[in-house]
Chains A and B, each alone.
Chain A
Amino acid sequence: MTTYGRGLRGLTLATITTNTLALALVFFYAPLDADQGFVQKIFYIHVPLAIVSLCGFIAGGLFAIGHLRSGDRRWDMRAYVAIHMALIFGIAALITGSIWAKASWGHWWVWSEPTLVSYLIVVLMYATYQPLRFSIEDPERQARYASVFAIVAGAFVPLNFIAVRLAQQYVHPRVLTLTGGHLPGSMRFTFLASLAGIALLFVTLWKYEMTAKDMRMQLRRARRQLLGDDAVRPLGRSAAPS
């Protein structure tokens, strides 16, 4: 088992249990929203996905700092996987948000809404991360440039979030604030359970992906040691760290 595989079984069980409990709370415990009714149930999946994806982008930036400071390529791998996962969660947040917008506002997308558009900008910005990596052939240079991108973009994420919060006009439902928000206790508990479930899912999938990548690297290394350089196929051009 690789370093990242440690504790993976327990983490997987915790993720499954938390998400099952969160789903039960969403549909059988949390009361219906007085204003939006049943549609508000999307909130319990959409908002945690958005929060966790933004945290994933920031984590990618922090891992990238680790790479530039130490020169250790494992940090680049961690950053790559965190950003890759956060992008998937971000796309899920965009789709679920769009469905919520259609049900709530009657439109799939509202361009005048700052939270939606700023989130889209963040996701589109990170959508350029993989093509950027792919465009650089030299692995060392690729890792360095990708780390710089991850740090700058990672710093942009909270700035973007704060800027939107400071904006004057709000259309987006504002249910969470630093002082606790306007959620009743049962809804807040359900939301926190959903957030914990999605956060655990992110960490679990991140660890799985890291384990798989680490295992492939170890396999290549073992193959080279046992059978010599000729037995190992050269890696083609790739966006993923090698």
Chain B
Amino acid sequence: MIVLGAPALPLHSAGKYVAGAYLVFVALMLVYVAIMARRLTNAERELSQLRRDAAARASERDRSPEDERQREPVG
């Protein structure tokens, strides 16, 4: 509704300064969000690595008593 009723923006010589100020703000926020997204990706990668390590450790633990039993002399 606001946009429909809006007057034309007076983008004369002052327009570049206003656009510059708002773009600086948007650019700073985008850089910040990009850094945050990269950190989040790293954390996700670390989490999946941790899951793999934990699963490997668990299966190793499950296998070891069986191996010991097999190694015991029969008879």
Write the residues of chain A forming the contact surface with B, with a CB cutoff of 8 angstroms: 24-25, 27-29, 32, 37-39, 41-42, 45-46, 49, 88, 91-92, 95-96, 99-100, 102-103, 201, 205, 208-209, 212, 215-216, 219, 222-223, 226-227, 231
Contact = CB atoms under 8 A, between A and B. Distances in A.
A45 B29 CA distance: 13
B21 A46 contact: yes
Interface of B: 2-3, 5-7, 9-12, 14-15, 17-18, 20-22, 24-25, 28-29, 32, 36, 39-40, 43, 46-47, 50, 53-54, 57
19 contacts: A27-B6, A28-B2, A28-B3, A38-B18, A41-B18, A42-B17, A42-B18, A42-B22, A46-B21, A92-B25, A95-B28, A96-B24, A100-B21, A103-B18, A205-B36, A212-B43, A223-B50, A227-B50, A227-B57
State the majority secondary structure of interface residues on B: helix
Closest 10 interchain pairs by CB? A28-B6, A103-B17, A38-B14, A96-B21, A39-B14, A42-B21, A99-B21, A41-B18, A226-B54, A24-B2
